[in-house]
């Protein structure tokens, strides 16, 4: 007889008394970083287009195979600047299944987000549902390559051309991804990346905008630096989106490790997929054909009827084991109190997004995740189905709201 797995939710020992994070940042090698920091200190040039920023920007441009690249202090400010540089106005169509920053960047520019439903398998904007949302006020489309999965760029851009709309891709998750051999940075009018600590490539905080239009790139440069063209010539209502020298130095060093990170993560993702491939009710994101992925996240979509437990029940079980799984991305942006009254936010109009956000669960994935820990996580997920009846009884008798609050960090 197969031995049942011990479960903390049933009062047994947790698998990870020292919790295991969803992700852990790659950190720069101190031997390389220390001389760079020393040089910055000696030069007394800490920010504002310094030597390290310039060299990092050049390295990025080459890595991302983009003719123009401007580095920012974070991805959110970069998104804000991209919308403004492309002169978005009125309404912009976007996805509700994303991190809040995508949609907030539109509102911060006094634009109205118009939510479009997603494809139930790729989790990206469904191009087939875009056109009915276009009105005389629509000026752009803000697509997100969610979890590094490229949008259907050809279809989206054909629609944009037909209706004279601009396209920005939120490529926060897509650093290093290629589509049919072409860098993901090369699609749309502009692409925006995040270099946050939780990303496959990080500068602690940071981001960039890539584009191919030199005039647009110049405008992005003004907007990043208070709108300053020359000392006495302030041409735009800019913001401070600059990255400092310390972070640029971290970026230059971490960039050398991205391909190793991708390889390590690929091996881990393959192990997850192999382990879960025959488990009823566990589904994987369908990658767009022609994608060379970066394996930035690993998610499972849990069908409660088949698996025996819902996503929320699995979440509670895993959290009580000390595994810091995340419901990326729930709630949907269209369900946030600030957006839920928009006409496009009606849940009936977004059935796929609603379903995916209620079934999705991100599992731990990072370069240094050990095989032993991954095996423990895999065995836990598999072990949950064997004990689903006991778990349901236990959860009924627990105050789940209280448990949920205790398991979610402040």
Closer to ligand T4K by Cβ: residue 117 or 308: 117
- Taking CB atoms within 8 Å and a gap of at least 24, the contacts of 336-341 are 336/100, 336/103, 338/107, 339/103, 339/113, 339/115
Question: Closest approach of Cβ 24 to ligand T4K, in Å?
Answer: 5
Closer to ligand T4K by Cβ: residue 52 or 175: 175
Q: Parallel, antiparallel, or unpaired: how do β-strands 228-230 and 233-234 relate?
A: antiparallel
Please tell me the distance from the alpha carbon of residue 333 to that of residue 110, in angstroms, as a whole number: 17
Closer to ligand T4K by Cβ: residue 22 or 394: 22
95 binds ligand T4K (CB under 6 A): no
Question: Closest approach of Cβ 387 to ligand T4K, in Å?
Answer: 25
Instruction: Report in angstroms the alpha-carbon separations of 228 from 43, 221, 240, 251.
Output: 24, 9, 10, 25
Contact 350, 115 (CB under 8 A): yes
196 binds ligand T4K (CB under 6 A): yes
- Close Cβ partners of 29 (under 8 Å, ≥ 6 residues apart): 253
Near ligand T4K by CB under 6 A, which window of 196-204, 246-254, 300-308, 367-375?
196-204
172 binds ligand T4K (CB under 6 A): yes
321 binds ligand T4K (CB under 6 A): no
Closer to ligand T4K by Cβ: residue 325 or 395: 325
Q: Where does residue 289 rank: exposed (0-12), middle (13-18), buried (19+ CB within 10 A)?
A: exposed
Question: Closest approach of Cβ 336 to ligand T4K, in Å?
Answer: 15
Closer to ligand T4K by Cβ: residue 19 or 54: 19
Element (H, E) at 300: strand 298-302
Question: Closest approach of Cβ 21 to ligand T4K, in Å?
Answer: 4
Please tell me the distance from the alpha carbon of residue 113 to that of residue 339, in angstroms, as a whole number: 8
Q: Which residues are at the interface with ligand T4K (CB under 6 A)?
A: 21-25, 74-76, 98-99, 101-102, 144, 170, 172-173, 194, 196-198, 207, 324
């Amino acid at each position: 007889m197969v031995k049942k797995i011990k479960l903390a939710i049933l009062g047994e020992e947790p698998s990870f008394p020292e919790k295991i994070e969803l992700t852990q940042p790659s950190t720069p090698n101190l031997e390389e970083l220390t001389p760079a920091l020393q040089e910055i200190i000696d030069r007394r040039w800490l920010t504002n287009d310094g030597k390290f920023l310039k060299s990092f920007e050049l390295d990025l441009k080459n890595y991302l195979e983009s003719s123009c690249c401007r580095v920012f202090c974070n991805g959110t400010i970069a998104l804000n600047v991209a919308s403004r540089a492309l002169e978005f106005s009125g309404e912009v169509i976007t996805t509700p299944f994303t991190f809040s920053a995508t949609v907030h960047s539109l509102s911060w520019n006094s634009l109205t987000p118009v939510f479009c439903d997603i494809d139930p398998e790729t989790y990206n904007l469904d191009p087939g549902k875009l056109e009915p949302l276009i009105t005389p006020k629509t000026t752009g489309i803000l697509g997100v390559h969610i979890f590094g999965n490229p949008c259907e760029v050809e279809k989206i851009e054909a629609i944009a051309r037909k209706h004279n709309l601009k396209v920005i891709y939120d490529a926060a998750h897509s650093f290093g991804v290629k589509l049919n051999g072409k860098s993901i940075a090369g699609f749309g009018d502009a692409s925006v990346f995040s270099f946050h600590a939780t990303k496959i490539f990080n500068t602690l905080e940071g981001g960039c905008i890539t584009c191919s239009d030199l005039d647009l790139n110049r405008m992005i440069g003004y907007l990043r630096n208070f709108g300053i063209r020359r000392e006495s010539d302030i041409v735009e209502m800019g913001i401070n989106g600059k990255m400092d020298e310390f972070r640029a130095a971290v970026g230059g060093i971490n960039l050398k490790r991205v391909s190793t990170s991708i390889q390590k993560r690929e091996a881990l993702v393959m192990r997850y997929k192999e382990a879960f491939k025959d488990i009823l009710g566990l589904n994987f994101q369908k990658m767009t054909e022609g994608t060379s992925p970066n394996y930035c996240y690993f998610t499972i979509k849990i069908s409660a009827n088949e698996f025996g437990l819902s996503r929320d029940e699995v979440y509670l079980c895993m959290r009580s084991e000390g595994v810091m799984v995340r419901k990326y991305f729930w709630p949907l942006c269209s369900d946030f109190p600030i957006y839920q009254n928009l006409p496009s936010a009606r849940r009936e109009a977004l059935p796929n997004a609603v379903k995916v956000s209620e079934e999705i669960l991100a599992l731990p994935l990072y370069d240094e995740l050990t095989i032993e820990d991954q095996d423990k996580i895999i065995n836990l997920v598999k072990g949950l189905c064997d004990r689903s009846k006991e778990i349901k009884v236990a959860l009924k008798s627990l105050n789940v709201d209280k448990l949920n609050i205790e398991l979610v960090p402040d």
